[in-house]
Amino acid sequence: DTGVSQDPRHKITKRGQNVTFRCDPISEHNRLYWYRQTLGQGPEFLTYFQNEAQLEKSRLLSDRFSAERPKGSFSTLEIQRTEQGDSAMYLCASSLGVAGAGNEQFFGPGTRLTVL
């Protein structure tokens, strides 16, 4: 499968614990995005990378959230001291990052986080 993959697919954790999610983009894609989606809403942008550089972060991304893409390939999203409000689907997407047709995003299957 050459699409975007995410791991784990599901995560249940207790409030206050730290969690880390991984995303592997399509191999030739240089842009990688993280989104959060709750029931009945569209995906909300969290952050994105151009290669290894984190170019933009949403105001939604509190200091408990951190994302990395150390070698410009896979990325991790860490949430520290999880809260019940962090429960959501966390989606990763990648794109070629060029103008025109190349900026369509391809999404991974998501990681569903439940904070108890």
User: 43, 49, 67, 90: which one contacts other proteins (CB under 8 A)?
Assistant: 43
Q: How far is the CB of 7 from other proteins (least distance, A)?
A: 14
By beta-carbon proximity to other proteins, the closer residue of 7 and 44 is 44
Q: What does the DSSP 8-state code read for residue 42? A: -
User: 13, 20, 87, 109: which one contacts other proteins (CB under 8 A)?
Assistant: 109
Q: If you count them, how many residues does the chain have?
A: 116
Q: How far is the CB of 16 from other proteins (least distance, A)?
A: 27
* Residue 77 identity (one-letter amino acid): L
Alpha-carbon gap, residue 60 to 48, rounded angstroms: 13
Within 58-77, the residues that bind other proteins by CB under 8 A are 58
Alpha-carbon gap, residue 84 to 72, rounded angstroms: 31
Alpha-carbon gap, residue 70 to 51, rounded angstroms: 9
Q: How far is the CB of 110 from other proteins (least distance, A)?
A: 6
